[in-house]
């Protein structure tokens, strides 16, 4: 057994030497064919034959080595490149620390109460109280009917240029015919706090010239369209989203909204207009309040 084991390395060396010789011959053949300096075809043929003979011998030696090794428990001969050694332990990346398994018997740590997110307080306008705080816009009455529970009220659906129409309740039954309300373009106050009027939620107010005996709907310029904003020269338009009833903003502004002697709607003498389109007027009333 020991003699066989000693013989195996020699056989392996011979097989490797034969393989190296084959490689050298292949290289020589390739160089000769490439450079074209071969003296004759017979020389090339002789080299090829020698190459084939050596290959056969190599395979024979390898087969013998494998058979002997298999019989005596010695590893088989292999000409493949040796496997790369495993990396040193010190070069391995550090492993993540394992999670510590909690003992179910251990008492749970008390959880800290989460702080409740503080809601931002709504920003309220602190500027001067004037017409700039009132949201006056053009709207179109797309439908109008009498209030089911109040003889003096109309219920209007109004296109304000928004995603959906607004419902607005107006006490105009005694002053304007129902047919004159349909498809009418008018001026509406849009930032009053919504309020129920005899069970119907009203989301604004239709602006009118008003005397003790007569009420007229204010007239916008002829080319006004839903969503147009009404402005007043000398006052910056900065309407509150919704007027705070406690601040009495509308009640402070309203007394200075009037129709002048030329039927112009005004605030403290300045005319209400739609920029680029014209002034807001009254059909016939002069020197009266706007409500």
Per-residue pLDDT for 82 more than 70? no
Segment among 46-50, 88-92, 202-206, 240-244 with least mean pLDDT: 88-92
Confidence of residue 248 (pLDDT cuts 50, 70, 90): very high
Per-residue pLDDT for 48 more than 60? yes
Domain boundaries, the chain: 2-71, 131-290
**Digit-coded pLDDT (tens) for 111-167:** 655 544 444 444 445 689 999 999 999 999 999 999 999 999 999 999 999 999 999
pLDDT for the residue 19? 73
Assess contact for 247 and 256: CB atoms under 8 A: no
Q: Where are the alpha helices (H) located in the chain, listed in sequence order?
A: 2-35, 41-71, 178-181, 249-253
**Digit-coded pLDDT (tens) for 207-237:** 999 999 999 999 999 999 999 999 999 999 9
pLDDT for the residue 27? 76
pLDDT for the residue 53? 75
Write out the two tokens for 191. 């930032």
Beta strands (DSSP E) in the chain are: 136-146, 154-159, 166-170, 185-189, 195-197, 200-202, 205-206, 208-210, 215-217, 231-232, 257-259, 265-267, 270-274, 278-279, 288-290
Does pTM top 0.75 for this prediction? no
Per-residue pLDDT for 191 more than 90? yes
Confidence of residue 23 (pLDDT cuts 50, 70, 90): confident
* CA angle, 68 then 19 then 65, to 5°: 0
**Digit-coded pLDDT (tens) for 90-119:** 454 555 545 556 555 565 665 655 544 444
Per-residue pLDDT for 12 more than 80? no
Per-residue pLDDT for 187 more than 70? yes
Write out the two tokens for 161. 């240029």
pLDDT for the residue 122? 45
pLDDT for the residue 63? 73
Distance CA 128, CA 270 (A): 17
Looking at residues 14-28, what average pLDDT do you find? 72
Looking at residues 39-53, what average pLDDT do you find? 66
Listed in sequence order, the residues at least 6 apart from 218 whose beta carbon sits closer than 8 Å to its beta carbon are 186, 187, 207, 208, 209, 265, 280, 281, 282, 290
pLDDT for the residue 99? 54
Segment among 33-37, 132-136, 189-193 with least mean pLDDT: 33-37
Rounded to 5 degrees, φ, ψ at 233 are: -60, 135
CATH class of the domain at 131-290: mainly beta
Confidence of residue 57 (pLDDT cuts 50, 70, 90): confident
- Percent of the chain scoring above 90 in pLDDT: 56
pLDDT for the residue 73? 58
């Amino acid at each position: 057994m020991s003699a066989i084991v000693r013989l195996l390395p020699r056989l392996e060396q011979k097989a490797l030497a034969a393989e190296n010789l084959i490689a050298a011959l292949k290289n020589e053949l390739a160089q000769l064919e490439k450079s074209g300096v071969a003296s004759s075809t017979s020389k090339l043929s002789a080299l090829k034959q020698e190459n084939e003979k050596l290959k056969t011998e190599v395979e024979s030696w390898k087969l013998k080595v494998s058979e002997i090794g298999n019989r005596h428990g010695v590893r088989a001969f292999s000409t493949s490149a040796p496997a790369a050694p495993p990396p040193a332990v010190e070069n391995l990346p550090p492993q993540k620390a394992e999670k510590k398994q909690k003992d179910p018997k251990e008492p749970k740590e008390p959880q800290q109460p989460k702080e409740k997110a503080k809601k931002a307080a709504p920003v309220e306008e602190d500027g001067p109280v004037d017409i700039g705080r009132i949201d006056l816009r053009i709207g179109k009455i797309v439908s109008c009917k009498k209030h089911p529970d109040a003889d003096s009220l109309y219920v209007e659906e109004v296109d304000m240029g928004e995603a959906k129409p607004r419902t607005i309740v107006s006490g105009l039954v005694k002053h304007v015919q129902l047919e004159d309300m349909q498809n009418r373009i008018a001026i509406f106050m849009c930032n009053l706090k919504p309020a129920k009027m005899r069970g119907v939620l009203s989301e604004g107010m239709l602006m009118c010239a008003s005397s003790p005996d007569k009420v007229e709907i204010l007239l916008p310029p002829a080319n006004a369209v839903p969503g147009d904003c009404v402005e007043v020269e000398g006052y910056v338009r900065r309407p509150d989203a919704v007027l705070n009833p406690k601040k009495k903003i509308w009640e402070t502004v309203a007394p200075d909204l009037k129709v002048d002697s030329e039927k112009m709607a005004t605030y403290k003498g300045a005319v209400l207009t739609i920029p680029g389109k014209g002034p807001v007027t009254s059909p016939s009333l002069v020197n009266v309040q706007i409500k």
